[in-house]
Amino acid sequence: MTENYKAPFVTDEYEKGGIPCVIVSGCGSFSLHKTFDCGQAFRFDPCGDENTFSGVAFGKKITFSDKGEGKLEIIGSTREEYEKIWKSYLSLDVDYDEIDRFIVDAMPCERDRNEMTAAVNSGHGIRILRQEPFETLISFIVSQNNNIPRIKKIISALCEKYGENGAFPTAKALVEAGEDGIFELKTGFRAGYIYDAARKVLDGEVVLDDVAACDDYDKCTEMLCSIKGVGPKVSSCVLLFGFNKTEAFPIDVWMKRSLENHYPNGFDVERLGKYAGIAQQYMFYHERWNNSESTKK
DNA sequence: TGCCAGGGCGCCG
DNA sequence: CGGCGCCATGGC
């Protein structure tokens, strides 16, 4: 199906003040800006303009810069690290153009195809990141009944206070911080949830590697939902962004609006199969940016 | 001041 | 099961 897809590749490798850099060419429709501004990652911020995003992932400080014409500069990565970490992290090994066509074709009627085309065009270039499971789990627990700027603030505080050298805190570090230590960082009623998640991961009551290895989506949901504060929405986000289970279809307030406003005849997620999560991300982005009083930042 | 934010829990019928 | 109040916090 995607055998004709040509993945981006490293075309240059150099140093900037002792920091290793690479240029990745052939990134096609990839949009750095949309990918880091669609509410899936909370540790990246624009640097100067919207063509450069800087943040931390896998414990590494990293900067991505869109140089135009399908060229992506990665500051803080060698060629080997690109191949091992960032290519997968950014999902640059996936043929999204093919998926976009599939998503539109999956709609049952012309009016729904038109609606979905609008969402796909709006979100065109977004890539589902492959983020670290534990970080994603805690981040989306923090996200509940919260807004994106404040989620970012809380996560940043967690990393500063309980992480090693800017990395996201380990389960052990959060358990040692205790519920009180977590509450101190303005996490509010979520402090107990975060603590429960960290404790269960540390004790092995929830094994994230088992979730990653499990092909039964409902079983994955069941494992994550055994954590206090993790329900259908949080677990689906964690499975989508932290485990690359792209059949996940998180429904939050924006998605409810999207479904109510644009798909009055109902919406059959099953038709989207394993690409439901990607369609969801387009719909979310479209609804949030085009059909709201654009209150963000 | 009141409402809302990438919700879920506990309780009630 | 489905509905509803509540949970901290900050921005508007």
3-state secondary structure A183-200: HHHHHHHHHHHHHHHHHH
Alpha-carbon distance of A105 to A125, in angstroms, equals 18
Residues ≥6 apart with Cβ < 8 Å to A284: A38, A39, A123, A252, A254, A255, A258
Report the footprint of strand C: residues with C-beta closer than 7 angstroms. A 145-147, 149-150, 183, 186, 188-189, 295
Please write the tens of the pLDDT for every residue from A70-118: 999 999 999 999 999 999 999 999 999 999 999 999 999 999 999 999 9
User: What are the beta bridge partners of residue A89?
Assistant: none
CA distances from A200 to A194, A208, A289 (A): 10, 10, 37
Please write the tens of the pLDDT for every residue from A202-246: 999 999 999 999 999 999 999 999 999 999 999 999 999 999 999
The structure tokens listed for A249 are: 């279809």
Catalytically active residues of A, by annotation? 233
| Model pTM score | 0.96
Helix residue ranges, H only, A106-216: 110-123, 133-142, 148-162, 171-182, 191-203, 208-213
Alpha-carbon distance of A182 to A259, in angstroms, equals 36
Task: Find out whether A23 and A11 touch, Cβ atoms under 8 Å.
Answer: yes
A131 touches strand B (CB under 7 A): no
* Nearest-nucleotide field for A188 (CA, C1'): C8
Please write the tens of the pLDDT for every residue from A116-126: 999 999 999 99
Q: Which residue type sits at A176?
A: E
Output the pLDDT for position A254: 86
Mean pLDDT of chain A: 95
DSSP letter assigned to residue A64:
E
For residue A2, the SS3 value is coil
Length, in residues, of chain A: 297
Per-residue pLDDT at A60 exceeds 70: yes
Measured from Cα to the C1' atom, the residue closest to C10 is A150
Measured from Cα to the C1' atom, the residue closest to C7 is A189
The nucleotides of chain C lying under 7 Å from a protein CB are 7-12
The nucleotides of chain B lying under 7 Å from a protein CB are 4-10
Output the pLDDT for position A138: 98
For residue A79, the SS3 value is helix
Please write the tens of the pLDDT for every residue from A100-109: 999 999 999 9
Per-residue pLDDT at A293 exceeds 80: no
Query: Mean of the pLDDT values across residues A49-54?
Result: 96
Per-residue pLDDT at A31 exceeds 50: yes
| A231-270 burial code (b ≥16 CB/10 A, e <16) | eebbbbbbbbbbbbbbbbbbbbebbebbbeebbeeebebe
